[in-house]
């Protein structure tokens, strides 16, 4: 399965178990493409859920156990019992979010004459403790091989955020191209009049208080166009429209119009974030892309037991939005982390007063994040550092 490692470009195996439907594979697919496109790494992406993968990358064949898409070798990871030899092992092995790669793969890693650099790529958090855990080694309890923890993050003492080298230039070029923008809206079935309204993209988990905001928006003094991927907030959309809406369908009540979008490739989702006035995002992948979009956003964080996700949310808001109290309050309410009962009309009206200021000052945040380097380059730099250390010890 693995090409010979005797070429100039390293090989890399990335193992991904899809837990959050699109966030996990979204991150791993972006990372895979950046490794391949910008650093000529030969990537093998192991994924357990090809159906979710196909929704953000239509080229994926859900019936093919091994395939190549955009230069990336994709393998359907459908069991833990597969057999591997040293020849199957990549130079760099990444397990995303402690996903327990097959035992036989680990055993083959330990037997390889030149052991791979083995990383656990952790989930993104703004909590301070990650700075002390980033890059820490973790020796295997029985085999002679060591794994290292690698944390994305928001400071120079972490791995940074995932971002392509040319993303800012692509964004600026697109936003300065009226024909491209017009074609984008038309491709989604949205006419010029609709696109002139306040545009909101809505990507959230089912338990979000969506109906409360729908009620506020339909009574808005100005038009609001809410763009929702098909299948997201299905029950609330049905309650609003009185019928099941599919991709391409719309429904209007008062000032609020809902338009259902098909799931689109990641490049088009980025463009949607760039064009909307406000983005509701969820999980980790769209959360990071919303930051690079430079527009106000509300994050719906993936829920954890005992409300541990509330601590992560507050840690991020402290870094990102300490000067925007209304954004913080609305974000907390959206995640059921606000003390007391939420008055959604007041929350929305107060946030609206702050929205333009957030957009104006968002460039300062993206500039500060870019100073930390990008996750992909930082990760490869660390693997070289680890390998050099091993060579010196040898």
Helix axes 167-175, 266-275, angle to 10 degrees: 60
Q: What is the 3-state secondary structure (H, E, C) of the chain?
A: CCCCCCCCCCEEEEEECCCCCCHHHHHHHHHHHHHHHHHCCEEEEEECCHHHHHHHCCCCCCCCCEEEECCEEEEECCCCCCCCCHHHCCCEEEEECCCCCCHHHHHHHHHCCCCCEEEEECCCCCCCCHHHHCCCEEECCCCCCEEEEECCCCCCCCCCECCCCCHHHHHHHHHCCHHHHHHHHHHCCCCHHHHCCEEEEECCCCCCCHHHHHHHHHCCCCCEEEEEECCCCHHHHHHHHCCCCCCCCEEEECCEEEEEECCCCHHHHHHHHHHCCEEEEECCHHHHHHHHHCCCEEEECCCCHHHHHHHHHHHHHHHHCCCCHHHHHHHHHHCCCCCCCCCHHHHHHHHHHHHHHHHHHHHHHHHHHHCCCEHHHHHHHHHHHHHHHHHHHC
Other beta carbons less than 10 A from residue 68's beta carbon: 10
Active-site entry in 20, 48, 91, 284:
284
24 in catalytic set: yes
Residues 6+ apart with CB under 8 A from 373: 160
218 in catalytic set: no
Active-site entry in 20, 24, 95, 374:
24
CA 68 – CA 62 distance, rounded (Å):
12
**Catalytic residue numbers?**
24, 284
């Amino acid at each position: 399965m693995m090409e010979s490692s005797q070429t100039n470009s390293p090989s890399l195996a990335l193992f991904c178990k899809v837990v959050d439907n699109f966030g996990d594979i979204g991150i791993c697919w972006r990372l895979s493409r950046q490794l391949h496109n910008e650093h000529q790494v030969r990537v093998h992406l192991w994924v357990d859920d090809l159906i979710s993968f196909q929704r953000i990358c239509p080229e994926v064949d859900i019936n093919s156990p091994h395939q190549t898409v955009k230069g990336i070798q994709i393998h359907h990871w459908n069991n833990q019992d597969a057999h591997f030899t040293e020849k199957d092992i990549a130079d760099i092995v990444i397990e995303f979010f402690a996903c327990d790669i097959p035992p036989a793969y680990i055993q083959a890693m330990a037997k390889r004459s030149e052991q791979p650099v083995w990383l656990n790529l952790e989930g993104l958090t703004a909590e301070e403790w990650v700075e002390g855990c980033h890059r820490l080694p973790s020796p295997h309890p029985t085999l002679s091989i060591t794994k290292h923890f690698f944390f994305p993050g928001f400071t120079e003492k972490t791995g940074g955020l995932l971002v392509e080298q040319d993303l800012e230039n692509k964004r600026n070029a697109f936003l300065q191209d009226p024909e491209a923008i017009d074609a984008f809206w038309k491709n989604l079935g949205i006419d010029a009049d609709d696109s002139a309204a306040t545009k909101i993209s809505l990507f959230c988990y089912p338990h979000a208080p969506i109906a409360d905001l729908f009620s506020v928006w339909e009574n808005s003094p100005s038009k609001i166009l809410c763009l929702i991927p098909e299948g997201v907030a299905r029950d609330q959309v049905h309650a609003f429209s009185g019928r099941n809406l599919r991709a391409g369908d719309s429904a209007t009540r008062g000032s609020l119009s809902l338009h259902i979008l098909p799931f689109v490739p990641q490049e088009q989702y980025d463009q949607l974030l760039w064009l909307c006035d406000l983005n509701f995002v969820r999980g980790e992948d769209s959360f990071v892309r919303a930051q690079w979009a430079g527009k106000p956003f509300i994050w719906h964080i993936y829920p954890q037991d005992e409300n541990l996700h509330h601590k992560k949310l507050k840690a991020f808001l402290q870094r990102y939005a300490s000067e925007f109290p209304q954004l913080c309050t609305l974000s907390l309410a959206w995640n059921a982390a606000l003390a007391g009962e939420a008055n959604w009309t007041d929350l929305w009206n107060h946030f609206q007063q702050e929205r333009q200021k957030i957009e104006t000052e968002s460039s300062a945040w993206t500039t500060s994040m870019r100073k930390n380097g990008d996750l992909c380059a930082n990760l490869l730099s660390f693997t070289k550092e680890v390998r050099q250390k091993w060579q010196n010890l040898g």
